[in-house]
Amino acid sequence: MTQLNTPYPSTAYLTGFLRSRGVAAVQDDLALGLVLALLSREGLNALRESLRAMPEADRSGPVNFFLDHFSSYAQTIDPVIAFLQGRDSTLSHRIAGRGFLPEGARFAALDAYADDGTGDPLGWAFGALGQQDRARHLATLYLNDLADVLRDGVDEGFEFVRYAERLAASQPSFDALALALAQPPHLIDATLERLALQAVDTHQPTLVLLSVPFPGSVYSAFRIAQCIKRKHPQIRIAMGGGFVNTELRELSDARVFDHVDFITLDGGERPLLNLIEHLQGQRSAQRLVRTFVKNDAGRVQYIHLQEPEIAFEDVGTPTWDGLPLHNYLSLLDMLNPMNRLWSDGRWNKLTVAHGCYWKKCSFCDVSLDYISRYETASASTLVDRIQKIVAETGQTGFHFVDEAAPPKALKALAEELLRRGVQISWWGNIRFEKTFTPDLCELLAQSGCIAMSGGLEVASDRLLKLMQKGVSIEQVAQVTKGFADAGVLVHAYLMYGFPTQTVQDTVDALEYVRQLFENGCIHSGFFHRFVCTVHSPVGRDPEAYGVTLLPLPEGTFAKNDVGFVDPTSMPPGVDHDLLGQGLKKAIYNYMHGIGLDADVRKWFELPKGKCPKTTVSRQKIAGVLS
């Protein structure tokens, strides 16, 4: 359960790699299949029957609204899905007219939008010519209403992207997942199990690989494994992916292996080759790589034979063969322009380099393989892959999913794209470092770059130095302006609550952000709360950052996030939660050009006299740029 607009790339990478090594491999997106099955006329009929069995006193507002307006939902669901899949664009006229869809609680948010004076609360966002966008946004709200019904009436953990996340994220014990998996399957579970078993019947695998990138994918993955084990006990099942790599590195709960046979860590290419050889009788279990198993004594054993990794140059070209590329949903949920890229349109996801060339940021999992092992491929190899992917998918949009794409590799890639005359649109994530000169920004734009995101984090030179970001605010201003002047959308990842951050730091950071918007350096941004992980420099050496870690609970399952005590935040210190509300309110308005001339203190609802005046000159960024 990740995105509905485009496939998550891990299966495409592994399918392409395994086929390049002569292994018969196929892939299926059961997350998309589940959503399309639930959000269909047949699925809504089943949902209504399930909800009718609920006591009336237990029904929420969204559930009652759905039952009261069921005929409207049943008549509109299939056309809306077809519209979001790009198969019926003319329906936008009826959807945008606001008389076609039943409008539940999610539509109330429209009242919070600014009115441009025409009586149209969405006019400022989409304008007179934005009918398709307006219709997609309204259709997305309609689907979110239905997600609320599934959450309130079937499974309280249901979300399109973060399904049952609380059961897995940093859970020291497997108990919560084990309890949930022991319950009789409800409507969502039964639908997922049916789709999983259909896939098994279609492909007849001997080995099933489950990619689990996020905590919100874990419950569904175990449900899939559980039903396959029950119906086809001879099939072997392996699990890997981002969640496993970050949270299950110290796994010791044998109950996990009631559902899966193997769990592999980090890059999947080498462990899977060895695992397949083992299952074919060509190597013993003791010669597996980075793999958890349950041994003959019934205990979890980690096996790691030292073998060289598969070079990034040799992992092959990802393939989307077998995935229903025309069935993904182009949603328009949030009006943040960068978030829109995430959810709107189908992007081919590709990696320019493995790992991060900087790997010093103190908040990042720099000790783990996906960051620490930095490898590149030649520009020629990358463009070969791009051309093969375009030929296979017919799609020319690419999202480069690197943690931080290296400037040298991007320059070579852009030159090779231009030399061959390959026309694509692409975006990705970078560090706002001085290597990105205006000339390089222009070159990248000419090669098809449409957007760049990067970490400004806590916009404070003191804290940027403490977190070893390797950039300064002046440098960020110059780089982002270079991209903006080249016509590239610029998004800033922002952070609050970093160790030792004061109220003054926060006010000054927002003033810098205000000026970056005011001077046209950035177009989009998002503030998130700092979280300390056990794999980051802060988690591994907290004293260096002036904090004390809280003891982790004893556990045998997941371990990632760790609490900490920051003396700066001790009473009567800094209330980062309250400050965060002001930061998010401010940036939402800045993205729409509102409040850019106001004193930044207006956004913070702090007690009188507790919000200091910024120490940053109001012309600081303008001076840097001139």
Contact between residue 1 and residue 160 where contact means Cβ atoms under 8 Å apart? yes
Residue 111's pLDDT band, with cuts at 50, 70 and 90, is low
Are residues 421 and 562 located together in one domain of the fold? yes
Q: Indicate whether 122 and 232 sit together in one domain.
A: no
Residue 453: predicted pLDDT = 95
**Closest among 216, 215, 154 to 188, alpha carbons compared:** 154
**pLDDT over 70 (residue 247):** yes
478 falls within a domain: yes
SS3 assignment for 156-197: CCCCCCCCCHHHCCCCCCCHHHHHHHHCCCCHHHHHHHHHHH
The predicted model gives 445-467 an average pLDDT of 93
CATH number of the domain to which 276 belongs: 3.40.50
Q: Is residue 23 part of a domain?
A: no
- The answer to whether residue 374 scores a pLDDT higher than 70 is yes
Give CA–CA dist 483/441, Å, rounded. 5
Residue 245 resides in a domain: yes
Distances (CA, A) of 519 to 454, 458, 483: 17, 19, 13
Position 577 pLDDT exceeds 50: yes
pLDDT score at 126? 53
Q: Do 176 and 46 share a structural domain?
A: no
* Domain identity same for 416 and 527: yes
- Residue at which a domain ends, from 126, 160, 194: 160
Mean pLDDT for the stretch of residues 515-520: 97
Percent over 70 (pLDDT), the chain: 96
| 370 and 489 assigned to the same domain | yes
Task: Answer whether residue 584 shows pLDDT above 50.
Answer: yes
Domains in the chain, number: 3
The residue from 139, 160, 181 where one domain ends is: 160
Band the pLDDT of 156: cuts 50, 70, 90.
very high
Q: Which residue has the higher pLDDT, 1 or 190?
A: 190
The answer on 127 and 190 residing in a single domain is no
**How far apart are the C-alpha atoms of 432 and 303, rounded to whole Å?**
40
Q: How confident is the model at residue 129, as a pLDDT?
A: 44
Q: What is the mean pLDDT of residues 111-122?
A: 57
| Residues 143 and 228 grouped into a single domain | no
Please report whether residue 464 resides in a domain: yes
Asked if the model's pLDDT at residue 114 lies above 80, the reply is no
Looking at the predicted structure, is the pLDDT value of residue 35 above 70? yes
The residue to which tokens 């003396």 are assigned: 567
The 10s digit of each residue's pLDDT in 37-89 is 999 999 999 999 999 999 999 999 999 999 999 999 999 999 999 999 999 99
Residues 177 and 156 in one domain: no
The answer to whether position 425 is within a domain reads yes
* pLDDT surpassing 70 at residue 345: yes
The domain boundary residue, chosen from 143, 160, 177: 160
Q: Which residue range is the domain that position 500 belongs to?
A: 347-625
- The answer to whether the beta carbons of residues 28 and 199 sit under 8 Å apart is yes
Return the pLDDT at 343: 78
Same domain, residue pair 453 and 520: yes
Record the pTM. 0.92
Specify whether 351 is located in the same domain as 465.
yes
- Residue 165: the pLDDT is 76
For the segment 171-226, what is each residue's pLDDT rounded down to a tens digit?
999 999 999 999 999 999 999 999 999 999 999 999 999 999 999 999 999 999 99
Q: Is 433's pLDDT higher than 60?
A: yes
